Amino acid sequence: MKPIRLPLFAALALLACLLFLVSPASAQDGAMAAAAERDTSADGRMVVFARVLEGRLLAAPSGDSLPASELCVSALDGSHVRVLLVAGAKRHRNGSPVAGFWWPQFSPDGTRVWFASPATVTSDVACSVDLRTGALREACGANSLRVVKRGRRAGCLIVEQHRYRKGGGSYDWLYLVDPAGKTLATLGDPEDPKVKARVEALLAGK
């Protein structure tokens, strides 16, 4: 689940709670414990996660303040931590800072890490970082993100996008997109049981 964007005082309280829950016994174990979401590479050798940076806040495109974080990979036991990106160090194409790392996931071939990051008031963006070169790439709007890792659609993304109707109003549907962000299929309302079943089938490689 994507972290809720909070006012400054609430973000400070959340940061304090996260730091309290982390055991000081091991810096590496603590870094892993602070990770709200993680994913394991296909070969089972690495894990990717985002961790909070103690005592630092970052302004998000919404105007709220978020606990600063960094995107990392490590061995399964938490050793050999490598920082891929630090929040605020790079910018999106629209000029807003890369302020967070939601739903970090490996690509099927293990060469890239995908994540979503806040980019506008109403939309996050699906991004990936090349594990070899560190190059950052943007794909498309993504208020949720799942990487398809098997089957004919392996490497594609399932994203939720906020779109506007021609006659007024807006909606948030799921779409299947390629790694460049091109829409391959409209899946529909994420609350629709048939859409949920189709998403599960895609993730299972069917």
Residue 202 has pLDDT above 70, yes or no: yes
Q: Which range (29-43, 101-115, 138-152) has the least confidence?
A: 29-43
The whole-angstrom separation of Cα 136 and Cα 119 is 14
Confidence label for 155 from pLDDT (cuts 50, 70 and 90): very high
Q: Measured in Å, how far apart are the chain's first and last C-alpha atoms?
A: 25
Type of residue at 16: A
Q: Tell me which H or E stretch contains 173.
A: strand 170-177
The pLDDT, as a whole number, for residue 16 is 39
Average pLDDT, rounded, for the chain: 83
pLDDT digits (tens, 9 = 90+) for 56-65: 887 777 777 7
Residue 103 has pLDDT above 70, yes or no: yes
Q: Are strands 65-75 and 46-59 parallel, antiparallel or unpaired?
A: antiparallel
Q: Tell me which H or E stretch contains 75.
A: strand 65-75
The whole-angstrom separation of Cα 157 and Cα 135 is 19
